[in-house]
């Protein structure tokens, strides 16, 4: 069976300053063969016709891009439904779509997960006609009202795209800040039932510490939705207001041409290879500082879907703001990353030796300069984590900061 759907990209009309969809091409699935073809009208836009990703659909060619397999091109995996949002929309499928083919008791493959995904998902792309999209906002808002710790226990752990923050239950919404301010696009990430309730406080703490160290971090806060703790983080791929600018983003996995479910030992899972995609001044140093921060706070969930690149021009990609830095409470010993941090494999252990080598290979630093980054990060985290943790605990009283001392005050990176 052959299925086809248009692919659109959000842009901002310079005359009205309102965003509008522009058709960029067509996606086709024929059994296990996927094809993407740019529209001639889009290519005629010349320099304004930006490419879709920095790895696969990076050229503005007139011939079709093809891929064989059960999974589409990585850039489309980024915008497909997954996890909690997928569950919520499937439960409302009959009402939202009015089609027997979309009954919630039938399995959804990648095609359905693309067609039924909201047009306001990750980045600027969406698949399918805008008028055919389900009214996902109301469905997700209604589902959010009934979120509890118990309901999250049954949430899907499938995060095959992983964009916007990995496997933990998450939902993207616009919130009204009141006082006449424009709506703000946020991502709510919930703690899993198997995790401590104050895990979201630890993640917020890591993000705030990163910002204090000078890293680029979106605004974030801890919320409690009914009895379910959540981290609210502003979306960096959206401007202010529901009609504001939309930034195209791709996951680092897409930039590295990694498919969901790829082998964890794949040599492309490498910060050094990701570094080669970055051309903007300062991004290499920022990437290295994030690696060091992950080591210091014990974030071992740094897989390629937990980092993104932001498109800033034709053939230009920048490191997006930082997100999904989760201190792992249960770990013991030296953290092991999900990506290699030097050219020499394997190099996933967060040892001082590996970090100093990464400083040279990722950021061009001398050993003394890299050591200064490590020591500064260590000192700031150890000296300030408790203050930040307590500040983020105001809306979640059942927290125990003393329990997290062994995570934020470890000794393995000490000189």
* Residue range(s) defining the domain that contains residue 280: 249-408
In a domain, 95, yes or no: no
Task: Report the alpha-carbon distance of residue 250 to residue 79 in Å, rounded.
Answer: 9
In a domain, 158, yes or no: no
In a domain, 46, yes or no: no
- Report the share of the chain in percent with pLDDT over 90: 61
pLDDT at residue 382 is higher than 70? yes
In a domain, 288, yes or no: yes
Query: Where would I find the beta strands (DSSP E) of 90-204?
Result: 125-127, 170-175, 184-190
What is the tally of structural domains in the chain? 1
Averaged pLDDT for residues 119-125? 91
In a domain, 139, yes or no: no
Task: Report the alpha-carbon distance of residue 147 to residue 192 in Å, rounded.
Answer: 12
pLDDT at residue 158 is higher than 50? no
In a domain, 392, yes or no: yes
Q: What is the pLDDT of residues 205-254, one digit of tens each?
A: 999 999 999 999 999 999 988 878 889 999 999 887 666 789 999 999 99
Q: What is the pLDDT of residues 30-85, one digit of tens each?
A: 999 999 999 999 999 999 999 999 999 998 899 999 999 999 999 999 999 887 67
H helix and E strand count, the chain? 14, 12
In a domain, 378, yes or no: yes
In a domain, 315, yes or no: yes
| Phi, psi (rounded to 5 degrees) for 164 | 65, 30
pLDDT at residue 87 is higher than 80? no
* DSSP state letter for 371: H
């Amino acid at each position: 069976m052959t299925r086809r759907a248009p692919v659109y990209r959000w842009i901002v009309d310079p005359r009205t300053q309102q965003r509008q969809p522009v058709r960029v091409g067509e996606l086709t699935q024929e059994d296990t063969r996927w094809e993407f073809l740019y529209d001639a009208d889009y290519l005629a836009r010349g320099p304004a016709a930006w490419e879709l990703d920095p790895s696969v659909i990076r050229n503005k060619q007139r011939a079709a891009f093809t891929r064989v397999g059960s999974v589409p091109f990585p850039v489309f995996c980024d915008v497909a439904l997954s996890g909690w949002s997928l569950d919520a929309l499937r439960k409302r499928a009959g009402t939202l779509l009015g089609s027997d083919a979309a009954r919630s008791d039938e399995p959804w493959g990648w095609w359905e997960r693309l067609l039924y995904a909201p047009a306001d998902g990750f980045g600027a792309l969406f698949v399918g006609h805008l008028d055919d999209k389900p009214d996902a906002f109301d469905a997700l808002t209604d589902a959010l009202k009934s979120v509890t710790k118990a309901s999250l226990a049954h949430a899907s752990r499938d995060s095959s795209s992983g964009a916007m923050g990995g496997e933990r239950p998450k939902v993207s919404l616009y919130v009204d800040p009141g006082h006449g301010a424009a709506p703000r696009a946020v991502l709510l990430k919930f703690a899993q039932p198997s995790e401590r309730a104050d895990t979201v406080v630890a993640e917020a703490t890591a993000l705030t510490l990163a910002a204090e160290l000078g890293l680029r971090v979106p605004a974030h806060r801890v919320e409690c939705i009914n009895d379910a703790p959540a981290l609210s983080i502003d979306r960096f791929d959206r401007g202010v207001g529901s009609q504001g600018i939309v930034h195209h983003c791709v996951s680092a996995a897409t930039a590295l041409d990694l498919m969901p479910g790829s082998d964890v030992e794949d040599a492309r899972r490498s910060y050094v290879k990701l570094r080669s995609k970055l051309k903007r001044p300062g991004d290499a140093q920022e990437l290295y500082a994030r690696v060091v921060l992950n080591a210091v706070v014990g974030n071992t969930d740094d897989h390629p879907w937990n980092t993104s690149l932001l498109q800033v021009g034709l053939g230009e990609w920048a490191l997006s703001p930082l997100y999904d830095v989760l201190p792992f409470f249960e770990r013991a010993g030296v953290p092991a990353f999900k990506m290699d941090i030097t050219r020499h494999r394997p190099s996933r252990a967060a040892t001082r030796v590996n970090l100093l080598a990464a400083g040279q290979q990722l950021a061009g630093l001398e050993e003394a300069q890299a050591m200064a980054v490590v020591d500064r990060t260590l000192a700031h985290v150890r000296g300030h984590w408790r203050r930040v943790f307590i500040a983020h605990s105001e809306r979640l009283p059942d927290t125990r900061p003393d329990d997290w001392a062994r995570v934020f005050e470890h000794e393995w990176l000490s000189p």
